[in-house]
Amino acid sequence: MSLSYDLYWSFRSPYSYMVVPRLIALEAEYDVVCNVKPVYPLAVRTPEFFETRDPLWVSYFMKDVFREAAFLGLPFRWPRPDPVQQANGSYRVPQPHIHRLTHLGVAAVERGRGLAFLKEASHTIWSGEVENWHEGDHLARAAGRAGLDFAEMAEAVDADPDRYAAVVEENQLEQRAAGHWGVPMMVFGGEPFFGQDRFDQMVWRMRQQGLAARAA
C-alpha cells in the first residue's frame, strides 16, 4: 500500500523551493504519494507577523537561505521581481503575482502534476537563471516541462479566481489544524514536519510505517 503525505507549500518561500527536489526523488524511489496543497505566504496571510519581528530575524534569514542553497547545491537568487509586493516596507498592498501563482499551483494539482509544477515554476522564480519570470513565456515553459498545457490552465484560473482562492483558504485552514502555519510543512500520519530541514525526519517516520521501494 502506498504511503501518502500532505505538503503545504508557498511560491514565495525559498525553503519551499529547496525541498522540492528531495520530495520528487523520494516519490521516484519509493511508493509514496505527495498531496500538494498550495498556500499563500505568511506575508500575505498575516503581514503583521513580519511587522513585529526582531531585526535580527531578517538578517539571519538572509544569511541562512543563501548558505542553505549552497549546502544543497541549488542555484539561488532572490527573485526579480519578488512574488510578494511591498510598498514602504509594508506587504499590505495588492498582490497580483502571488495570488495567480498560487492559483496556478492549485490548477496543476487538479491536473495531477502538482509536484512537477512546483519544481519547474520555483526553479524559474528562485534559481537566478531567469529575469522577470512573470513576463513572456517563462511560466508557460515551466508548465510545459511539468507536462501541463499552460494556456488551458491559465485560462481556467483567470476565469474563476474565487474558486481557486477558496481552495487555497481551505488548504490554509487544514494546515493550521495539522499543527503549524509555516512552509514548507509536510504532514504524515497526522504528524507535522515544518521546514525543509525536517525532510529526513519525515522519511525516518515513513520507514517506521513500512516505506517500500517503488516497483520497477
Q: Where are the beta strands (DSSP E) in 23-178?
A: 32-38
Q: What would the pLDDT profile of 62-75 be if each residue is shown by its tens digit?
A: 999 999 999 999 99
Query: In whole angstroms, what is the distance from residue 187 CA to residue 39 CA?
Result: 14
Residue linked to cell 511560491: 11
Query: In whole angstroms, what is the distance from residue 41 CA to residue 69 CA?
Result: 20
Active site residue 13: yes
Which is nearest to 116 in space by CA: 31, 24, 16? 24
pLDDT for 43: 80
Mean pLDDT of 103-127: 98
pLDDT band at 128 (very low <50, low <70, confident <90, very high): very high
pTM of the model: 0.94
Q: What is the radius of gyration, based on Cα positions, of the chain?
A: 17
Q: What would the pLDDT profile of 137-185 be if each residue is shown by its tens digit?
A: 999 999 999 999 999 999 999 999 999 999 999 999 999 999 999 999 9
Structure-model confidence comparison of residues 104 and 92, the more confident one: 104
Catalytic, out of 13, 16, 59, 122: 13
Query: In whole angstroms, what is the distance from residue 105 CA to residue 171 CA?
Result: 12
Domains of the chain plus CATH, in order, are 3-208 (3.40.30.10)
Q: What would the pLDDT profile of 9-65 be if each residue is shown by its tens digit?
A: 999 999 999 999 999 999 999 999 999 999 999 888 876 666 777 889 889 999 999
Which is nearest to 79 in space by CA: 20, 44, 127, 47? 127
pLDDT band at 92 (very low <50, low <70, confident <90, very high): confident
pLDDT for 212: 96
Query: In whole angstroms, what is the distance from residue 205 CA to residue 199 CA?
Result: 10
